[in-house]
Structure 1
Amino acid sequence: MDPERYWKEHVYQGGARQLTVRAIIAGMLIGAVMCLSNLYVVLKTGWSLGVTITACILGFAVFGTLRSLKLLTKEFTDLENNAMGSVASAAGYMTGGGNMAAVPALLMLTGTLPSSGWLMVWFGVISALGVFAAIPIKRQLINIEALPFPTGTATAETIRALHGHGDVARQKSRLLGLAGLVGALLVLVRDARFTWLKNLPEKMSLPFNIMGREAGKWSLSFDFSLLLIGAGALVSFRTGWSMLLGAFLTYGFLAPEMVSRGVIPEVTYKAINGWALWTGAAVLVSSGLLSFAFQWKSVVRSFSALSGLLGRQPQEGTREDPLAEIECPPAWFPLGFVLLGPVAVFLMAYLFQIPWWAGVLALPLAVVMGVIASRVTGETDTTPTKALGPVTQLIFGALAPGNLSANIMSANATGGVGLHSADLLTDLKSGWLLGAAPRQQFYAQLFGVVAGSVVIVPVFNLLVPSADVLGTEQFPAPAAMVWAGVSKMLASGVAALHPTARVGALCGMLLGVTLVLLERWAPPKAKAFIPTASGLGLAIVIPGSSSISLFVGAALAALLRRVKPKLADDAVLPVSSGFIAGESLLGIAIAMVKAFGFMPK
């Protein structure tokens, strides 16, 4: 039987409440909060964390509380929660797709950014184009081929659990709330400078010296950050210990050796990072590109989805499209690009001095990137940002050599559209499993784009008032450092680097390739002892203290999964999400209070 016809007859809940006004409002508010939390996290760690599951748990808890207080009469349904999650995820993903790599990188390289209003429009247009780009490939990848999109599947299962078992829902929402409160209290004790409050130190140095200086001077310390511990709990233990290994190799051995040779002028994180960045970037870029190359079958298969650009061909033996009135019409895709494409090209030319022909070229390239990234995400649950970001930088570096703004922001446009498309298809997978209306999720994502683009710019300007804040222990911004590094290298050439930095970049490239090959070809039992290239590379470009805390989180989560697997399944995600949200949001609030002069800086 035609899978689409079966879905319409047995899964689709056409008459159920979905994209209600309250779901839109709640999704925009929760999505804005999650977007700000993600902004803080990406500046700290370089990662944009998935927000949909957390948003669905939080939404369920909020509406459940309001209903228990008799402030609401109608039940908050599973499809309302799914629609609300689509709004929230579109807002939360505003930090993804290279957005919070490209814009900070541009600030570091040029010292200036467009005005807040123009940046809001830029983020909104690029993200909205990503939503439209998902239309022609959604049916092929989700309806017909049924790619797993593991995070989307997990979101659907979470929503079913929340709305099917009250005890599970209450426990998860309670854990999330308590963890958020603990994370916020830690920030208050650590960062708020009240005269009546004894502050917790931000870091505690490890108990040994290197070259006569305590380990903390080399950034080898324990960071009192539940955000980092929570983020670590969401990655694998293998990634966690890889980061610990990378931290000690970089800050315990390589950096002291370079300081003793006079290559690194002083023992500060910023000075060390200025040298080590090239090694870390080479590990991340080479491993990302090779991993992507090994997925060539997915890439080849993805181009079959481009037939959707010309409209879906009815399957043999069918007379009509069973979902013609439910799915987004194929014409919406070209219509969206006809309306928004010229706006994007204008913004590229006006804001970033990108030649108009390069802007026009970026649009079809973005569609191709979206097709490739969407299939890879659907099959592996990993959006290939580390590969597609540098690839687009290389393309535009060749087309407009020496133009730093054009290199970075053309890549932001191309990668942003494609990667947003891939991320948002994950939400449509959840809706497919739950029987939601795709058109309503499409509208939901556009509402989320508006919310995310409006809130992210002013808070970014607040947290990053100047480029001096970036690349520091406060905000390492590793993704932005890598993008800026690639752009500078394309503009000035490898010869401009210090000879030892060139050797480090070559070693990093070989290390990234070697780790990917070992992971692919090593016996299954041996893989647990092979460091991950992403963990090792990231540890080279962030402070050692951050890697240590991330390792602690990964180790605690792994221990809990081994000792109490059921408790780990129920608790790790909500507790980690609560730690991250609580610390990041209060951290932003304290930054706002300091900026307005109500608290000493």
Structure 2
Amino acid sequence: MAPDRGLRIIEPVPEPDIEVESEEMIPSNFSGEGDPPVKFLPEGRHFTFRGVVVGLLVGLVIVFSNMYFGLQTGWVSMMTMPASLLGFGIFRTLSRHLSFPFTPVENVLVQSVAGGMAIMPLGCGFVGVLPAMEYLLKPSEQGPIHLSMTKLIIWSLGLCYFGVVFAVPLRRQVIIREQLKFPSGFSTAVLIGVLHGKGSTQNSGALDSSKAATFGSLALENQPLLEAEDANDDEDRTASAKKQTWAANIRLLLITFGISGVYTLSTYFFPILRNLPIFGTVAAETWLWTFNPSFAYVGQGIIMGPATTIHMLLGAVIGWGILSPLAKNRGWAPGPINDWETGSKGWIVWTSLAIMLADAVISLGHIALRPVVEHAPGLFIALKQRYARGGLRGLFRRHPTGYTTVAGDETITSRHSTSSAEGTSSLSTPGDGEGGRKVWDHDDAPPEQLVGTKVVSIGLVISVVFCVASIHITFGELVPLYGTIIAVFMAMLLSIMGVRALGETDLNPVSGISKIAQLFFALIIPQTHKASVLINLIAGAVSEAGALQAGDLMQDLKTGHLLGAAPKAQFWGQIIGATVGAVVSAWIYRLYTAVYEVPGDLFQVPTAFVWIFTARLVTGKGLPYMAWEFAMGAAVIFAVFTVLRTKGIGKTWHAYIPGGIAVAVGMYNVPSFTLARTIGGLMNWYWRVRLRRDDTPLIVLASGFILGEGFISIVNLILQSAQVPHL
């Protein structure tokens, strides 16, 4: 232990005597049984130019992948684990040429920048809202609307900021105070720790984020220091094993990348490979039951896990195995099966949409009302006590709290001082720990590493004004100004529920959130308005953007919190990533839509149809025959299922209750994608549950599969634009 020359927190006192305000760090050295362990700030540079550049390069590959897969099925992922893995691989390859070492906190920066880029295809509406506007809006609905490249960039930049800024004040509540799990963020922190030699992976059943709640909990610097001889011996014993493990992972990544890439290139010359009739030609040609043996979709299934993919398969069976034949044979959907307007492909979308809405309303309502119900009794008792002590004045009087601290033989009483937008309370005096390293005994980062109040306040105002202005520039008088303003503030409200849902369940219900926004706007925008459908689409897009950014980027902040990375560095990394990602996504979207037919065989844009159908429904356009009855029945059933799931979080039977969003996705996507993802989910289950093996090779395998197809799809794009014939 370090010499006993620090401050020790003893107990709260009612009225502090001395207020200490300083931006130095607290030396935290504890002795005696039961004291918390010493916590050193992790070493390394939190924000570097090279980290930003590598993050942008990794993010560019992921953006191409997400645009490709998003236009096909609507699936978009931040891919934080692959980003961390790729960032580590690049820096390890260049390790001999680095002027200072690549540390876990710099890896957090890399994946923060990459994550900020990765979600832009979905966050800016390029895989759903924009295709709906450009290809599905009818002339009577003020469409179709084809945006120039300049307006595409203005639109995407307008949507990319306010969710990032709004995540900053939410961070203090959900990560520091409530300590929500954010399972993917926790797992990414564990992976980064393993890559940098900070620990060993555990099987899935042993990962418990509640054991790592404070700032830097998973960093090596927070662990007891080894004696020099022990450290050297340990280094000698593990150096060879770590080198062999790293080499094996790199070989696996390259092999899986190559396999997926070769398959993707083959599909250009042999398109039949995307739709193998494994259930017979009748099932394939009549009912669309084919199999797409895409390694990328297998990789996506690995990342999604067995529960989600099995629920998606259930949705495919219900939608394409039961409802589709029923609607066709009864004459409710008389057109070809593959027709969105008159066929059963479009008919079953209404059922999936009802399931999605029921899941979103119940789950988000539970998240919004639960804190009120849980804390109402305690709040009433506290107010009653304050009233008893001081009458009406006692209800509003501020009662400061403080801590008694011991420094040597002196006792000093101190008061919390809030120094950042995240409400960080800080008591501080200068001091160093062992080896000259700074030490810190708070649950959060030091004040100088947090995003300041002024930055957040100004950033929120600018981002909101810029969003409103960008929509006005893009769509002119078609969209009323008051509608855009309401959409932005509603997006912030819904973002809170989305962040909490993600922190508790690892699922960001952005699809349901956007549909709730569409329902709300149907009430405030008259159905007689000439652009009611267009306004509805834009309102949903704004809400989806805010919830997606605030939620998914909170996973990054959880990762950084556990590894001791500076939130300020992550924030600016996310801003940079979002800016570049918005511009690049606009360019990639226009590239794909210029070369390929949209919607078409390759890019079916199913989420665009979900968007436009929702807008038409809530603006009074009506449903196909008998679709209303089945939609309402499905909504009631899955409302019950969602209630059971919210009550069963953490229980063994939770995974067996179908998740509404997953089932809905399985219904509006054709079965070929779902079958491949299910294979990946079963591989995940077999590897982690049956074999109880280390997670890292599985992550490497999935990353290689996904990135291989996403990257080589650029080659297919070039071949298509050059009109190279198919075989």
TM-score by length of 1: 0.88
The one-letter code matched in structure 1 to 2:118 is G
Distance of 2:541 and 2:497 partners within structure 1:
16
Contact 1:392 1:414 in 2 (8 A): yes
* Worse-superposed segment, 19-28 or 284-293: 284-293
Change (3 A) 1:467 1:103: farther
Match of 2:589 in 1: 460
Larger radius of gyration: 2
Distance of 2:369 and 2:480 partners within structure 1:
34
Match of 1:307 in 2: none
> Aligned pair 1:502/2:628, yes or no?
yes
Contact 1:226 1:580 in 2 (8 A): yes
How far has the Cα of 1:320 moved from its partner? 2.8
Change (3 A) 1:199 1:385: closer
Which of 539, 553, 564 aligns to 2:666? It is 539
> Aligned pair 1:18/2:115, yes or no?
no
The one-letter code matched in structure 2 to 1:463 is Y
How far has the Cα of 1:179 moved from its partner? 1.4
Q: SS of the residue aligned with 2:291?
A: strand
How far has the Cα of 1:147 moved from its partner? 2.4
Match of 1:324 in 2: 447
Number of equivalenced pairs: 580
Which of 578, 589, 593 aligns to 2:704? It is 578
Which of 74, 94, 98 aligns to 1:46? It is 74
Change (3 A) 1:328 1:598: same
Within 5 Å, which residues of 2 pair with 1:291-370? 291-297=363-369, 300=372, 316-317=402-403, 318-321=415-418, 322=426, 323-352=446-475, 353-370=478-495
* Worse-superposed segment, 137-146 or 281-290: 137-146
Change (3 A) 1:468 1:431: same
Change (3 A) 1:267 1:63: same
Distance of 1:337 and 1:54 partners within structure 2:
31
Distance of 1:447 and 1:5 partners within structure 2:
29
| 1:463-514 deviation digits (Å, cap 9, x = unpaired) | 23499623x5523433332222111112234xx2222222232233223223
How far has the Cα of 1:185 moved from its partner? 0.8
How far has the Cα of 1:319 moved from its partner? 4.1
Which of 541, 547, 550 aligns to 2:677? It is 550
> Aligned pair 1:104/2:134, yes or no?
no
Q: SS of the residue aligned with 1:221?
A: coil
The one-letter code matched in structure 1 to 2:573 is A
The one-letter code matched in structure 2 to 1:79 is V
Which of 62, 68, 77 aligns to 2:90? It is 62
| 1:67-111 deviation digits (Å, cap 9, x = unpaired) | 3xx444532221111111111110012134473332223232233
Which runs of 5 or more residues in structure 1 are unaligned? 305-312
Distance of 2:189 and 2:104 partners within structure 1:
9
| 1:376-427 deviation digits (Å, cap 9, x = unpaired) | 3223322221332112112222222341221111222233123312221221
How far has the Cα of 1:240 moved from its partner? 2.5
The one-letter code matched in structure 1 to 2:82 is T
| 1:332-381 deviation digits (Å, cap 9, x = unpaired) | 12201332322211222232332112222233333322333223322332
Distance of 1:94 and 1:101 partners within structure 2:
12
Within 5 Å, which residues of 2 pair with 1:171-570? 171-191=248-268, 193=269, 201-208=273-280, 213-262=282-331, 263-268=333-338, 270=340, 271-297=343-369, 300=372, 316-317=402-403, 318-321=415-418, 322=426, 323-352=446-475, 353-402=478-527, 403-465=532-594, 469-470=598-599, 472-493=600-621, 496-519=622-645, 529-567=656-694, 569-570=695-696
| 1:27-85 deviation digits (Å, cap 9, x = unpaired) | 11111211221222222332222311110101111111123xx4445322211111111
Between Structure 1 and Structure 2, the one with more helix by share is 1
RMSD value, Cα: 3.2
The one-letter code matched in structure 2 to 1:252 is G
Distance of 2:374 and 2:534 partners within structure 1:
31
Distance of 1:66 and 1:219 partners within structure 2:
48
Change (3 A) 1:397 1:561: same
How far has the Cα of 1:169 moved from its partner? 4.3
Contact 1:44 1:474 in 2 (8 A): yes
How far has the Cα of 1:526 moved from its partner? 5.5
Change (3 A) 1:252 1:394: closer
Which of 99, 102, 105 aligns to 1:79? It is 105
* Worse-superposed segment, 349-358 or 246-255: 246-255
How far has the Cα of 1:303 moved from its partner? 12
Distance of 2:662 and 2:60 partners within structure 1:
29
Contact 1:462 1:592 in 2 (8 A): no
TM-score by length of 2: 0.73
Contact 1:396 1:407 in 2 (8 A): yes
